[in-house]
Every structure is written in C-alpha cells, then in structure tokens.
Amino acid sequence: MWVFYLISLPLTVGMVLFTLRYYAAPHVPRYVLLTVGYTWLSSLSIIILVPADIWTTISSNHDNGGISFFWSWSYWSTFLLTWAVVPLIQGFEDAGDFTVSERLKTSLHVNLIFYLIVGSIGLFGFILLIMMHKRWSGSLLGLAMACSNTFGLVTGAFLLGFGLSEIPKSIWRNADWTTRQKVLSHKIAKMAVRLDDAHQELSNAIVVAQDTSNQMSRRDPLRCYMDVIDDMLTQMFREDPSFKPQGGRLGESDIDYDTDEKSMATLRRHLRGATEEYYRYKSVYMTYVLEALQLEDKIKNYERRNSTGWKYISSFRPARTGKFGSLCDTLEFFWQCILRKQVQKGLAVILGVMSVTILLAEATLLPSVDLSLFSILIKSVGTQEVLVQVLAFVPLMYMCICTYYSLFKIGTLVFYSLTPRQTSSVSLLMICSMIARYAPPISYNFLNLIRLGSDKTTIFEQRMGNIDNAVPFFGDKFNRIYPLIMVIYTLLVASNFFDRVFDSLGSWKRYVFETETEDMDGFDPSGLIILQKERYWLEQGGNVGEQVVPLVRNFNGIDVESSDNIMLIWFR
C-alpha cells in the first residue's frame, strides 16, 4: 500500500522546492522559506495520503499504524503551523520595527487582536451549541477540528466551483491565438498603468526617506534607525541601477516620520511595501509582454511557413547552427505552431469532462444511487492496489488545483500575490496558510464522493472526528446538501451570470473573482502601442520594462482611440 505514497512523496518534495525557487523573491529569509516549504509539504502530504488510506479501507488491511502516524504528523503539523507559527512569523515579517524584540511584540499584538475577535465568535458559537445540543458529549478538540473542517467545506465549495468552470474555459480560450492576443493587450495596458502608479508611489517613498535623512543630524538619537533605511535605498539602487525616481513629492503627513521610533518603523515599512509592490507589478508586466511577443512570433512563423521551410524563427535568440540546428527549428515549429494548440484544446476537453463528472458526483450525494464515476471506477478495480490509488489521486489532485487556483485569483494583487521571483515573505506565508487550511476539507469532500460504504470508514475520517456529533446543523445532512449549492453556483459561473451582475458594481469588481471575459472584446489600442514599443526597444538592445513608465505617462490626457493620437504617441 506504500508504493504509490513512496513515489508521490519525493515528487511532492521536488514540487515544493521548485515552487519556492520559482516564486520567492531574492530577499526572502531562509527561515521563511523553511516554514513555507514545511507547511506546503505537510498539507500536501494529506492529499497524497488519501489514496493509500482508501486502498487500506477497501482491502480491509488492519495494518494501519503507519497511516495513522502519518495522518497525525500531517494534520497536526498543518494545524499548528496554520493557526500559530505562520501568523506569528507573518506579523514579524510585516512589522517595520528595527529590533527583533520590537518586531515580535508588534506581531504578537496584531495576532492577539485577531484571535480575540475569533475567540469571541467561537465563544458565542460554543454557548449557542450548548443551548441547542444540551447532551453533547464531544471534546473541545473534536469541536475545533469539526468547525475548522466545516469552514473549509463551505468556503472551499465556492472556490472549487469557480475553478471547475474557469480552468477548462481559460485553457480553451488561450488556445486561440487571436483571443489570447486580445486578452494580453488588455492585460498589458492595465498592468502598465499599475506599474506607473507603483513607480510613482515608490518615488514618493524614496523622496520622503531622503528628505527625512537630510534633515536629521548625525547626533540625533534616531539616526541609527535612519541609517538602516538609507542602507535599504543604497542596496536597492545598487541592485537595480536602471530605476530612476520620477515625480516624487512630499505630502503634508510626510514630514513627521522623525518624531519617534514607531514613526521611523512606519517609514521603513512603507518604503519596503512600496518597493515590493513596484517590483511585483514589474514582474507581472514583463511576463505578459514576453508572452505577447512570443505569441506574435508564433503567428508570424505560421503565416510564413511556406517561405521559411516550416522552420521556427525566433526574435529572442539567434538562429540555430550545427548539425541538428535545422531539425530543431522544424520540430519547434511543429510544436509551437501546430501541436501545442491541439494539445491545449484536448487538455481543456479532458478537464471539462472531469469537471462535469465531479459536479455530477456532488449533485447526486443525496440519492442512494451511486452516480459518481470515480466511485464506480475505484470499486471496479478494488483488487488492484496501484490502479485504486491512481484513480483516487487524479480527481483529488484536480479538485485541489481548482480550489487553489480560485484562492490565488481572489487575492492576487489585492490581498497577496504569487509573482514569479517577486513574491514577498508576507505573501508566501499568507498563501501557505490558506493552502494548509483547505487540504483536509478537500480530502473530506472527496471521500464523500467515492462512497466507500457505511461499514467502511477511512482512518482520515476517524481522525477528523464526527462532525454530526460535534456541530448540530453542519453535520451529515448539511454535508450532503451544500454540494447542491456549489453545483448551482458553478453553473452560474459557467454561464457568465456573475459577470453580468458585477458589471453594475464598478470598482467593487476588483474584490471578486476576475475573469477574462471583458478582456476579449477587441484589442486595447494602448496595449498594442506599448507592445510595439517594447519590441522596438528589444531590437535596439534594451530590456523589457525599462521605458514603459515614461510611455504610459504620455497617455495621460490623450484619447488613445484616435488613430492620429496613437501615431503621435508612437513617434514621441
């Protein structure tokens, strides 16, 4: 029963290390990386342990001590990290204080307020529980586990539903080159404006810090704190010589930062936040621009395939030479211009079928008839260990991907960000905490879908406790009703119902899931201009993103819908 788990665990470790390396910003401390990596590993271990638990239950293997141990390790590591360790480190990293003790005090103060609020709500719920369920005899620990799992089930249902609809749709849309070009033109235009705003904010923060430093004498008792801020600026300019502050200005509230240690800590935190935001937007902007330029290369190569001899010519690298250079160019052409599009569409169809299958299983939890395809398949190969675990792992992992996809979409660039090589410590810690909270509920939901039978209970369900006994309303009946709500919600998302509703909300739309529907309505002229400029600068030996801020500021007050004004901006 351990074959699949022993194969999956090293792959999970490798995936965690690769993800950290790909997303973490250069200055993330090692203890943050270790904390995030261990949290991800312990929470994902719950997911990869489910298939082994299912096989043990089906085969009536009573040697379950190993699984019980790993469940305890995975679940309690995740629980303690999510609710105690990670929030403490997150507050510590977010604090702008200059000493370890002061940063720790700030973190404890912030977390104490949060847990007082949560504790008050929990106390009210506990009193209500006693009033509704006077004969309740469960433990407080079981109640806490049940409430945590119920919260994850309810909120995770909506996250899962959004992902089940949007992932297949987005993959199918992105396979169409024209549609993807339209989307990227909108995204480049939006991100360029956000990058300009972030550049302005960082310039203001730098001007404030420099002015505060210039006004502070060397004998000032706060000078040691100002020196730390000066070192931050020196390091930033050394690592990025291309950054030039533009338009920085002082506000009325920016002249009081040198009054005490707390105000200096606020200045440091503000400068650090402005720096992280700028480089985060710059990373996302560069990603969109490079994708758009590569997409232009694909279209040009496909249109000129007869004249180029069906060879791929890239504008990002010199032509291949050598014995196999021509063959590699031909293979790249067939992959980039022909096969990749078909693979994407095929993947979208497969994932769409999986989404429909999961929704059908969720919608038929109440009837006694088992209509879950995964349940039928697992039971049909019940004597083959590897097949059982693979058939359980694939849909479970897809449910996890859908849930986490929605989790990232709802918070990206608003509450936190997952940006390639520019994700800050605070964002990494917040993301890992959210991932850990949803791993057990996703597993619990999946176990409900496969219907092993009332006489067969997995170790996971035994360890999680009986929700029906712990929480009167959110018990077994509710666990079979809420999926119907999720199915209805998913169908509404798939039909773009919420897009039509949110169109009337204006700026409120940024606080809900962002979809690409509105970005497919034609090309954005400013995005096309910026993309043309970026290609021109690349051909002249420049780098992506170096000149975008002055270009965006040329758009201010100009009607970009006019072709004359577009040409005017282009020749500036």
Among residues 409, 408, 419, 423, which one has the least CA distance to residue 509? 409
Task: Give the Cα separation of 464 and 152 in Å (integer).
Answer: 13
Task: Give the Cα separation of 309 and 290 in Å (integer).
Answer: 25
Return the minimum-mean-pLDDT range out of 87-91, 109-113, 378-382, 525-529. Answer: 378-382
Among residues 167, 195, 160, 29, which one has the least CA distance to residue 534? 195
Residue 317 — φ and ψ, nearest 5°?
Answer: -150, 155
Token pair in block for residue 430: 């917040």
pLDDT of residue 92: 93
- Residue scoring higher pLDDT (66 or 257): 66
pLDDT of 103 > 90? The answer is: yes
pLDDT of residue 572: 44
Cα→Cα distances 333→80, 304, 315, Å: 51, 11, 14
Q: What is the residue-wise DSSP string for 67-86?
A: HHHHHHHHHHHHHHIIIIIH
Task: Give the Cα separation of 75 and 87 in Å (integer).
Answer: 17
First to last CA, the chain: 68
What is the mean pLDDT of the segment spanning 447-451? 84
pLDDT for 374-408, tens place per residue?
888 888 887 788 888 889 999 999 999 999 998 88
Among residues 246, 106, 187, 237, which one has the least CA distance to residue 530? 187
Say which residues have a Cβ less than 8 Å from residue 40's Cβ, sequence separation at least 6. 16, 19, 20, 432, 435, 436
Residue 545 identity: G
pLDDT of residue 434: 83
Query: In terms of residues, how long is the chain?
Result: 572
**What's the DSSP call for residue 314?**
-
- pTM attached to this predicted model: 0.84
Cα→Cα distances 133→138, 147, 192, Å: 11, 15, 57
373 band by pLDDT with thresholds 50, 70 and 90: confident
pLDDT for 307-322, tens place per residue?
988 999 988 888 788 8
Return the minimum-mean-pLDDT range out of 142-151, 428-437, 493-502, 563-572. Answer: 563-572
Task: Give the Cα separation of 234 and 43 in Å (integer).
Answer: 39
- Residue scoring higher pLDDT (261 or 2): 261
Task: Decide if 186 contacts 522 (C-beta within 8 A).
Answer: no
Tracing tokens 């994407």 back to the chain, one arrives at 344
Q: Per DSSP, what are the bridge partners of residue 24?
A: 423
pLDDT of residue 464: 66
Q: Give the count of beta carbons closer than 10 Å to the beta carbon of residue 385.
A: 20
Q: Could you tell me what percent of the chain has a pLDDT over 70?
A: 81
pLDDT of 134 > 60? The answer is: no
pLDDT of residue 545: 75
Token pair in block for residue 120: 């008050």
Q: Give the count of beta carbons closer than 10 Å to the beta carbon of residue 70.
A: 20
pLDDT of 77 > 90? The answer is: no
* Per-residue b or e along 343-379, where b marks 16 or more CB atoms closer than 10 Å to that residue's CB: ebeeebeebbebbebbbebbbbbeeeebebbbbebbb
Task: Give the Cα separation of 530 and 516 in Å (integer).
Answer: 20
475 band by pLDDT with thresholds 50, 70 and 90: low
pLDDT of 327 > 70? The answer is: yes
Residue 175 identity: A
Say which residues have a Cβ less than 8 Å from residue 449's Cβ, sequence separation at least 6. 358, 361, 362, 365, 372, 374, 375
pLDDT of residue 198: 92
Token pair in block for residue 312: 């791929």
Out of 126-135, 177-186, 534-543, the most confident range is 177-186
Return the minimum-mean-pLDDT range out of 247-256, 300-309, 404-413, 415-424. Answer: 247-256
Return the minimum-mean-pLDDT range out of 119-123, 236-240, 491-495. Answer: 119-123
